[in-house]
Amino acid sequence: MFHRTQLLLDRAEAHQRSGEWQSAIALCETIFESSWRSGRIEDLLESLLRLGLLYSARSERELSDDYFQLAFLIANRGGDDQRSARALNGLGISSHRAGQIDLAQRYYLEAKLLAIASGDRRTRGDIELNLGIVANLRGDLSGALVHYEHALIEYEALGHRQRIARVLNNLGMLQTDLEDYASAAESLDGALQICREIEDVEVEGIVLTNKTELVLALGDLEAARSTCDEAFEISSRLDNGQLKAEALKSYGCIYRRTDKPHLAESHLLQAIQLATEIGYPLITADAYRELALVLRSEQRNKEALDCLNKAHGLFAVLQARQAQAEIDQRLEQLQQDFLSLVARWGESIEAKDHYTRGHCQRVAEYACCIAERANLPEGDLIWFRMGAFLHDVGKIEVPEAVLNKSGPLTPEERKLIERHTIVGDEILSSIAFPWDVRPMVRSHHERWDGRGYPDGLAGTDIPFAARILRIADVFDALTTARSYRAPLTPSEALNVMINDVGAFDPRLFEVFHNSLNDLWNRGRQLMDSA
C-alpha cells in the first residue's frame, strides 16, 4: 500500500475513535479519489472498506452497502480473499443492523471461509465476534460464548486492543444475560479500561450502555443513572443515533424502576422513534417490551398489549428466540390476569341464575367456533372468548327472584332483565381490558333488523363481535332446558332461528349453519366434562 495512504488511513481511524466522523470520512474520500485516478487498487479497496464501515456506523445503509458491494466486486475479481472477506463481513453488519439476520449470517459464513483461506486473523476475529452476536440474539448462549472466545484468541494473538475491548463488551452482555454478574462486571470494566487508554470514545459509549443494563440488573439505580448519563453525553457528542437510542431506552428502564412512569414513557417513546428512524429494530423491540411494563403498571392494558405484540413481531423478524419466549410469557401472564377475573365473574353470574349453569362457558365456546370460521384474527380470540364469557355480567345486578322466576315476567321485570346489557357495560367500563369487550356485552341482544335492545342498532352498526355472540347466545338458550320447556335439539333450534327473520347477520348465520355439527360437538364436550 502507498505510504501516504497508510498515514491517511491511520489518521482517519484516530478521528473515528474520537468521534470525529466527518473528518474520518473526508480523509477516506480523499484516498478514494486519488487511488481511483491513479489506479492503485489496494488503496482503492481500503478506502471503500473504511467508507463502508463509517457510513454503516452512522446508520446510512444505502451508502454503506454501495461501498461494500463495490469493494467486494473489485476484490473478488482480483482474487483478493482477504478484502473480499472484509467486504462481505461489512455487508453482514449492515444487514444485521437492519434486522435481516438470515442474510447477515450468510454473509458472515461466506466471509469466514475467505478469511480462513487468506490467513487473515483480524478479519476472522471480526467475523467470529459477529457470529457470536447472531447466536446470542437467537438464544444460543453457549454457541455465542464459543464464537466470542475464538474472536478473543485471534485478537490477543495480534495484540489488537480495540477489538479485544469489543469482545469483552459482548462477553459482558452475555454474562449479564446468564446472570453471572461478577464476570460481567469484570469483562465490562476491562473493556472500559482499554477504551479509555486508547481513547476510543465510540466503543466506550457502547460499553457504558451495556454496563447500565448490568447495574440495573444488580438494582443499583443511582449507579445506573450515572453510567447512563456518561453514555448519553458521548452519544450526543458523537451524534451517534444508535448510542443515543440505547441510552434513551436505558433512561426509560431507570425511570420505570424509580416509579416515574411518565418520564419512563417519554424516554422510551423517544428511543422507539429514533431507533425506527435510523433502522435499528432490535432497540425498537427492546423499548416496546419495556414500555409494555410501564403501561401495565398504569392499568393501560390495551396499549400494553399493543406494545407487546409489536415487540413480539420485531423479535420474530430478528429471530430473537429468547426475547420472543419472554414476550410470550408476558402475554400469557396478561391473559391469565384477565382470565382469573373473568372466571370469578362467571361464577358469580351462574351462582345467581340456576337455569343458566354452564351457559357462559358454552356460549363462549360456540361464539369462538363461529369467530374462527369468520376469520377473526387468532391473536384476538383469547380476548373475544373473555368478552363472550362475560356477556351476561350485568345480571349480577338483577334480583335472583327475577332471574329464576318460572312464570312469565311482568313488564317491570322484563325491563330489569333487559337492563343487564347496560349494567354490564357500566361494570366493565372501569376495567382496562386490552381488547374492546364492552360492545359485546352491551350489544349482544341487538337484532339485524334494528328491533333489539338496548340501543336499537341495526345491520353493520351492531359491533361485529356482538353479532357473532348473539347467534351463540340464542342457540344455547334454545338447546338448554328451562322450567317451562325441554331443551330443543340442534336441528329444532336451527329451524326456530331460521324462522326468526331479521334477527341475525345473514353472512354470520350462514357460517354458524355450516359449522353447526362441530359447534354442537364442542358444546357437548363441555357438558360432559362439567
pLDDT of residue 437: 87
| Residue-by-residue DSSP string for 194-226 | HHHHHT-HHHHHHHHHHHHHHHHHHT-HHHHHH
Identify the CATH assignment for 240-332 out of 3.40.190.10, 2.40.10.10, 1.25.40.10, 1.10.3720.10. 1.25.40.10
Separation CA 384–CA 232 (nearest Å)? 44
- Of 395, 391, 333, 339, the C-alpha closest to 363 is 391
pLDDT of residue 3: 66
pLDDT of residue 144: 93
- Of 343, 452, 355, the C-alpha closest to 402 is 355
Separation CA 158–CA 151 (nearest Å)? 11
- Of 20, 81, 19, 86, the C-alpha closest to 47 is 86
Separation CA 261–CA 268 (nearest Å)? 10
Separation CA 148–CA 142 (nearest Å)? 10
pLDDT of residue 232: 96
pLDDT of residue 32: 85
Q: What would the pLDDT profile of 383-442 be if each residue is shown by its tens digit? A: 898 888 888 888 888 888 887 777 788 989 899 889 999 998 998 887 767 677 899 999
- What's the Cα-to-Cα distance from 167 to each of 57, 174, 192, 380, 478, rounded to whole Å? 17, 11, 12, 43, 69
For the domain made up of 353-529, the CATH class stated in words is: mainly alpha
pLDDT of residue 515: 92
Separation CA 121–CA 85 (nearest Å)? 11
Length of the chain in residues, anyone?
530
- Of 79, 18, 80, the C-alpha closest to 49 is 80
Separation CA 175–CA 182 (nearest Å)? 9
Read off the C-alpha cell for 80: 483478493
pLDDT of residue 461: 97
Spans of all domains in the chain? 240-332, 353-529
Residue ranges in the chain modelled with pLDDT below 50 = none
pLDDT of residue 313: 79
- What's the Cα-to-Cα distance from 349 to each of 357, 391, 431, rounded to whole Å? 9, 10, 17
Separation CA 151–CA 122 (nearest Å)? 9
pLDDT of residue 445: 96
∠ CA 190-196-201, nearest 5°, is 115
pLDDT of residue 2: 59
Give the amino acid at 171: L
Buried b (16+ CB within 10 A) or exposed e, 227-239: bbebbbebbeebe
* 85 alpha-carbon distance from chain centroid: 33
- What burial class does residue 168 get, using C-beta atoms within 10 Å of its C-beta: 0-12 exposed, 13-18 middle, 19+ buried? buried
